[in-house]
Amino acid sequence: MSFKTKVCDLFGIEHPIVLAGMGGVSTAPLAAAVSNAGGLGVIGGAMMGAERLRAEIRRTKELTDKPFAVDLLAPDPDIIRPQIQVIYDEGVKIFVAGLAVPEAFIGEMHERDMTVVVMVGKVRHAEKSAQAGADVVVAQGTEAGGHTGLVGGMALIPQVVDAVDIPVLAAGSITDGRGMVAAMALGAQGVVIGTRFIATHEAAAADCYRRELVEKGSADTVRTRCYTGKPARAIRNRYTDSWEGRSEEIEPFPIQAMHSQQAGLMSYAGESGDGDPDQLFMPAGQGIGMIDSVKSADEVFQDILSQARQVCASGPLRA
């Protein structure tokens, strides 16, 4: 059976499974693998300067001839203007905005026939995105890895679906086919998956990070401002515990993120070798308890799709 929805036609993809544009982790090999599997690969451009982003886009084009997107964190349009120019120069057709509605760019992106996707954690942000002209919103529940709000996906997804007239995708701890079917039952036209794709061979991730994803369980994440200054869900460790009761000492975003960068806490993508799991920022959703091995991205993708088909054919799965 096919899960094809309108959003698949909009993106030009076969299956409504989208890779989360995870800054530093979703680089060309992972984005291309998801696109080649028939989903939408998304390059996580958040930690990349303009020329690194250009190189990553070009590498993705070498690895796939299928559609792909670029994600950037959009709270300050001036900061991302150089990366946006690269997106235009390279003819990328789909843009995903994290942390803010990219109002400054939506008009010019539409003039270029681009599709604009906005990550949201509240109904009000979904409405604001739709009013600003976004084409798709992603309802991201609090159980998601990375920067995340307070509303659980089970509550957020249907309320966002009811609030806007544009397609809604769902994100937050969607880790297998059961999660995909559940999200679509709530009205989402597809899913955005992050954490499950970090435990793959193609992801850019420090070895200790992949290991922790396999070993930790559903209660081992914490929503903390201590790494970036904005609430982000990450694997709980000695460093996150050390900030308990001291939240007033945390600087706002992006100052706290710069401090963390200088202290070497943000190299979860493994760019400077393996990290110290007691200190490192390791963004992860509560679905980590369902991750028990590192696989290829294509295997993860096919497993999700075939389990989703099985659920639809035979009802809830039991062990």
**How far, rounded to the nearest angstrom, does the alpha carbon of residue 93 sit from its chain's CA centroid?**
18
Q: Counting contacts by CB under 6 A, is residue 170 touching ligand FMN?
A: no
CB-nearer residue toward ligand FMN: 66 or 147: 147
Q: Counting contacts by CB under 6 A, is residue 173 touching ligand FMN?
A: yes
Q: Counting contacts by CB under 6 A, is residue 283 touching ligand FMN?
A: yes
CB-nearer residue toward ligand FMN: 3 or 197: 197
Contacts of residue 252, defined as CB under 8 A and 6 or more positions apart, other chains included, come to 229
Provide the token pair at 225: 């401002």
CB-nearer residue toward ligand FMN: 38 or 283: 283
Binding residue (CB under 6 A) for ligand FMN from 22, 117, 120, 126: 22
Binding to ligand FMN, residues 242-261 (CB under 6 A): none
Given a contact cutoff of 8 angstroms between Cβ atoms, the answer to whether 53 and 43 are in contact is yes
CB-nearer residue toward ligand FMN: 189 or 195: 195
Stretch (H or E) spanning 193 = strand 191-193
**Cα–Cα distance between 73 and 242 in angstroms, integer?**
27
Sheet holding 221-224, edge to edge: 146-147, 232-235, 221-224
CB-nearer residue toward ligand FMN: 174 or 315: 174
Contacts of residue 105, defined as CB under 8 A and 6 or more positions apart, other chains included, come to 74, 77, 84, 95, 116
- Over the window 90 to 129, marking each residue x when it contacts ligand FMN by CB under 6 A and - when it does not, the resulting string is --------x--------------------x----------
> Nearest approach, Cβ of 86 to ligand FMN (angstroms)?
16
Q: Counting contacts by CB under 6 A, is residue 20 touching ligand FMN?
A: yes
CB-nearer residue toward ligand FMN: 86 or 174: 174
Read off the DSSP letter of residue 273: B
Provide the token pair at 286: 């509560």
**Cα–Cα distance between 168 and 294 in angstroms, integer?**
29
Residues that bind ligand FMN (CB under 6 A): 20-23, 25, 44, 46, 71, 73, 98, 119, 140, 144-146, 171-174, 192-195, 283-285, 287
